[in-house]
Amino acid sequence: MARILFGVMGDARGHVTRALTVAQQMPHHEFLFVGGGTVHELAPEGYYVEDVPMSSTLYRDNRVDIVATVSKASRVLLKTRPVVDKVARVIDLFDPDLILSDYEYFTPLAARKLGRPCVSLDHQHILTHCIYSVPPSQRLSRFMTCFVVRRFYSYASRFLITSFYDLPPQDPRTTVVLPPLIRNEVAGQQPLQGEHVLVYQTSPTFRRLLPVLEETRRRFVIYGLGEERSRKNLVFKAHSKEGFIHDLASCRYVITNGGHNVVSEALYLGKPVLSFPIADAYEQFLNSHFLRENGYGDYSTDAIPSRELFDSFESRLDQMSDSVRRGSFFGNRHVVKLLEEMIARGGQG
C-alpha cells in the first residue's frame, strides 16, 4: 500500500469528481486530500481532508466576473507563505509515496520547497502545455488565462492531462495527454436514446436560454437554474447525482456550458453536446471549439440564442452521434497505470 497526497482545487465539483475517481480506482492505497470548498465533500466518502484556502472563479450574467475573481484570488495569495509552510509540514508528517495536484495552488509549491516531485493531474494544463490554434478572437483571453495558469499553477514536475480531445504536448518528456477520467457511476450506465434533452448550467444566470427552448418541440430536463415549477416543455430539477446521471444516460443530447467533466461524461455515454461557454472562461471556449472541430457537437457565444441554432444542431444529430461513437473517452485505466508506475519509481514523474 502506498500513501498518496492529493491537492485538489475545490471551487467546483469537476476537480473533486476527478480526484475521487482516481482514489476509487486505487482503493488499495491511502489518500490524504488537501484543499478547500467542495474538497470537503470527500470527507463523508471516508477520506481525510486537510483544509487550505482556495481561490475560485466567480460568475455573473453567464460570464466570468473578473473583478470579483481577482479580488478573491488576491486575498488567497497573501496567505501563500504560511499556507505553503503548513502543507510542507503535512507532507513531512504523511511522507507520501506520490504527490498529486489537480489545479491546487499550494501543494506543488510545498513539494518544491521540500525538493520532492509533484505530478499535475488535471485538464487545465492543456491550455499551456499542448500545441493548438484557436480563432483570433480568443487571443487576448488565451493570453490572460495562460498567464495565470503558468504563473500560479505550473510548479509540478510532470503533467498528466486528461481530455476528450487529443492534442500533441509541447514537451513529451514532461507532459502526457490521456482520455478523460469517468466516475464509476457514469461508467456503469447503459446508455439509452431517449427524446428529452438534458440541460446543465454551471452558472444559474443564463436564463436567456429558456425562451428559445420553449419554442422547440423537445422536452428539456434542466439542472442548475434553480428549482422552478415546470412549464410547457421545461422540467426543472434540483441537484441530484443519481437523477442527473439517469437523465444524462437516457437523453438525446446535452446542452451545457463548456465544463470539461460534464462534456466528457456526455460523450462517453454517446451524447452530442451543444455548448454555450461562459464568456471570458477561455478553457470553456477551447472545449467548445474542439467539440466542433471533432464533430462531437457545436457551440455558440451568442448572448441570446436563436431558434435557428437549435434547428441546425438537430439537423446534424445523426452525423454528430456517429463521430462521438468513434471517439475515445475513457482514460481511467491509462491514468491508474501511469500513477502505479510512478509509485514504483519512488514518486518520480
Judge whether residue 326 has pLDDT over 60. yes
Q: How far apart are CA 320 and CA 316, in angstroms?
A: 6
Structural domain span for residue 18: 3-181+331-344
Q: Is there a single domain that holds both residue 196 and residue 224?
A: yes
Residue with cell 441546425: 312
Which phi-psi region, left, alpha or beta, contains residue 102 (left: φ > 0; alpha: ψ -120 to 50)? Answer: beta
Q: Is there a single domain that holds both residue 17 and residue 113?
A: yes
Q: Is there a single domain that holds both residue 28 and residue 154?
A: yes
Residue 135 counted as domain residue: yes
Judge whether residue 67 has pLDDT over 60. no
pLDDT at 228: 77
pLDDT at 29: 96
Residue 53 counted as domain residue: yes
Q: Is there a single domain that holds both residue 20 and residue 137?
A: yes
Which phi-psi region, left, alpha or beta, contains residue 64 (left: φ > 0; alpha: ψ -120 to 50)? Answer: beta
pLDDT at 84: 93
pLDDT at 183: 95
Residue 21 counted as domain residue: yes
Q: Is there a single domain that holds both residue 160 and residue 11?
A: yes
Residue 280 counted as domain residue: yes
Query: Which residue would you say has higher pLDDT here, 156 or 302?
Result: 156
Q: Is there a single domain that holds both residue 245 and residue 111?
A: no
Q: Is there a single domain that holds both residue 335 and residue 254?
A: no
Looking at the structure of the chain, the number of domains it has is 2
Residue 97 belongs to a domain with what CATH number? 3.40.50.2000
pTM assigned to the model: 0.92
